[in-house]
Amino acid sequence: MSEQFDAVDIIRIKRDKGILSPAQIDWTIDAYTRGAIADEQMAALNMAILLNGMNREEISKWTTAMIASGERMDFSSLGKATSDKHSTGGVGDKITLPLAPLVAVFGVAVPQLSGRGLGHTGGTLDKLESIPGWRADLTNDEKMRQLADVGAVICAAGAGLAPADKKLYALRDVTGTVEAIPLIASSIMSKKIAEGTGSLVLDVKVGSGAFMKNLDQARELARTMVALGQDAGVNTVALLTNMATPLGLTAGNAIEVEESVEVLAGGGPQDVVELTVRLAEEMLACAGVKDADPAAALRDGRAMDVWNKMIEAQGGDPRATLPVAKESETIYAPADGVLVELDALSVGVAAWRLGAGRARKEDAVQAGAGIRMHAKPGALVRAGEPLMTLLTDTPEKFDRAREALDGAVVIAPEGSRPDYQLILDRIAEA
């Protein structure tokens, strides 16, 4: 078949800082998805976009073209509002687990399509798969039934949602163009919009353990994604949250599920509770629910009831004993003082090296591997007290995990205070 445009002409337009027309963008995404544009040509276009950017109209059209490459879910038959959350990924970020059932308590359906971990950031599905019997892969009919019956589902996205994104992401990953904000934003938002949610809250992480290392970059990404949501008719807001130190006291899989259940039981680490409640408030507000009290629903057991139903609906046993690592090793405080830094990236890499994460998509993860933290920034510690416990089934991994933690901990004299704020900003307008 003859093609409407020529790939080289498209590349030249972005190389020369020009603007692509809607028709050119539609053709580009369609042609690449069906193989009419070669990988090396799309790689060149991606690099031109990274260097020269895109305007709001281009990014919006790029996103809708990616959505059009596959199916789009529709939850209108549920008869209730839908709201979802997306995190850009961090260390110890188990927030989705308590958040989805918490929001469902208030009659808002939560279709949470999640992913698996790659590198130092943990995957929600990896955590949940440590629960005996739980399954991530559901049909669209199963998702709809569970949303109607339980109100919340956390599962894998089907292959039919934005297939262009899967192909584009794999190419960006090997061509140094992952960091292009138009491409990050359209990648995330094409899947979230195709998922069919009525409203969306974005948790954009900032800091060493996050994809975005500084606040200005994170704000740009958040504004871009909020604009894409608004352009698509999805009520979207973003919180910028701190990922300089891990969330909670665990980084791993089964141990993060355990900590999430503590939060659902009305306990758990203060930072995990704070962020869960704040995101729930934002999701409920976006869905039009007023005067809800998510903190009360954690304390009184209503969120736990929905969690148990959600896990059972996907074949899991919420009361089953979770896997435990066969081996452990403790790291001790080197001095007296105040723990003022516990670097998120270092902890994430160490947990990954212990077996909690994967380097390639096809790698297996260890359900019991990870790190328990016994102190967080702000805590007073004494020399020789446990700071972290490393967990793995394969003790030969301890050496490289310890290497990752070199320099991760900073202890300052008593009276020092860490410079830490959990929620850094809120973006509601593009």
Indicate which residues carry an active-site annotation: 86, 165, 172, 187, 191
Cα dihedral across residues 212, 213, 218, 220: positive or negative: negative
User: How far, in whole angstroms, is CA 4 from its chain's centroid?
Assistant: 37
Residue 280 near residue 116, CB atoms below 8 Å: no
Helical segments of 291-351, H only: 294-299, 302-313, 344-351
Q: How far apart are CA 140 and CA 137, in angstroms?
A: 10
Angle between the N-to-C axes of helices 270-286 and 96-104, in degrees from 0 to 180, rounded to the nearest 10 = 40
Nearest residue to 127 via CA among 312, 401, 402, 369: 369
What does the DSSP 8-state code read for residue 200?
A: E
Residue 344 near residue 157, CB atoms below 8 Å: no
Residue 185 near residue 219, CB atoms below 8 Å: no
Q: How far apart are CA 241 and CA 87, in angstroms?
A: 10
Cα–Cα separations (whole angstroms), residue 94 to 75, 172, 262, 298, 374: 26, 27, 12, 15, 17
Q: How far apart are CA 160 and CA 370, in angstroms?
A: 33
Residue 391 near residue 370, CB atoms below 8 Å: yes
Q: What angle do CA 377, 379, 385 make, to 5 degrees?
A: 110
Cα–Cα separations (whole angstroms), residue 218 to 202, 233, 247: 11, 23, 18
Which helix (H) or strand (E) covers residue 400, if one does?
A: helix 398-404
**Residue 90 three-state SS:** coil
DSSP E strands, 279-394:
327-332, 337-342, 370-373, 380-381, 386-392
Q: How far apart are CA 253 and CA 248, in angstroms?
A: 13
Residue 367 near residue 357, CB atoms below 8 Å: no
